[in-house]
Structure 1
Amino acid sequence: MQNTPTDARPRYRERLAPSLRLLVTVALAGPMVSLIFVPVGSTVALIVGAAVSALLVAGCIAATPVISVDGSTLRAGRAHIDVRFLGEPVALTGDDARQARGPGLPARGWHLIRGGIDGLVVVPNTDQGDPVQAWTISSRTPDRLAAAIRAAR
């Protein structure tokens, strides 16, 4: 009997990293911190300011959620669900996504929504034992995420 190798590579993976504008804003804390250390010495102030900026930017990127579809599991941040419990995903952009993020947002749903990311995927939850009605997930490429969920089902 032959064992067929399983494909362990994720079908889809996306990090919802913050925008460049937000990263620049966070990095501006470094020069402010460096002003505190000017009395100690200008070299120390520059080193501390650069280190603070680098740490804040790295921390901001590291803390962002990851969306992935690997095997038969959809992961959105810390949450995960088997794709057999998911219905047909709907990829939304523009006004449809804005409507789904606002008045159309299900009250009993799992939401992973990030500002500055226009795309959105809404996936109904078909598990009768789960109180969550739908998953609403921000994505820069909602069509690819929806296709990955369909392929995993």
Structure 2
Amino acid sequence: MTAYRERLAPPPLVFLAWALVVPASILVFLPIDAAVGWGVGIGLYLAISLLLFFGSPVLRVDESGFRAGRAILYPGEVGATAAFLAEEATAERGPRLDARAWTLFRGWVKPVLRIELTDQNDPAPYWLVSTRHPQRLSQALDQIRPRTPGR
């Protein structure tokens, strides 16, 4: 059972801007053959678009823990969470960022979620990850966090 899943893929505008590679390729290959330019341009567009989409990290929360890309936090390591939007998110990614923190940022995803760690042996005090839905991710993490008496 997956409680939360989000791919941090670029927005459609990035793919639209990247489409400019097609006319650029046509112009480059026009002295040789316009058909070659079309083929190279479309091939480049498709290849890079697929890499951008499928190469984007995935945030996933399930019973085994929280995965952010290839990294994993097990349920017992998940502490308190805090969501940050707009200017607060920028400050968390910038001046307030602890250099020891583990981070996963994407420039096209502005909100971030700060996840405190309960593992005293972990050199990172917290994780800071980009997410489009920080409140939903926080709620999903609350569901997998082990309950302690008095909580």
TM-score of the pair, normalised by structure 1: 0.86
Give the structure 2 partner of residue 152 of structure 1: 144
- The question of 1:112 aligning with 2:104 is answered yes
- The question of 1:66 aligning with 2:53 is answered no
AA paired with 1:20? P
Identity rate, percent? 36
- Unaligned runs of 5+ residues in structure 2 are 146-151
- Unaligned runs of 5+ residues in structure 1 are 1-8
Are the equivalent residues in 2 in contact too, given 1:72–1:84 (CA < 8 A)?
no
Are the equivalent residues in 2 in contact too, given 1:122–1:134 (CA < 8 A)?
yes
1:120 shift after superposition: 0.9
How does 1:10-89 map onto structure 2 within 5 Å?
10-89=2-81
Are the equivalent residues in 2 in contact too, given 1:110–1:135 (CA < 8 A)?
yes
SS state of the match for residue 132, structure 2? coil
Moved more, 75-84 or 29-38: 29-38
Coordinate RMSD, CA, aligned = 1.5
Structure 2: distance between partners of 1:140 and 1:100: 15
For residue 129 of structure 1, the aligned residue among 113, 117, 121 is 121
SS state of the match for residue 79, structure 2? coil
1:78 shift after superposition: 1.5
AA paired with 1:62? F
Are the equivalent residues in 1 in contact too, given 2:113–2:138 (CA < 8 A)?
yes
Moved more, 133-142 or 64-73: 64-73
Give the structure 2 partner of residue 91 of structure 1: 83
1:21 shift after superposition: 2.6
1:34 shift after superposition: 2.8
Give the structure 1 partner of residue 149 of structure 2: none
SS state of the match for residue 89, structure 1? strand
1:41 shift after superposition: 2.6
TM-score of the pair, normalised by structure 2: 0.87
SS state of the match for residue 99, structure 2? coil
AA paired with 2:74? D
1:39 shift after superposition: 3.4
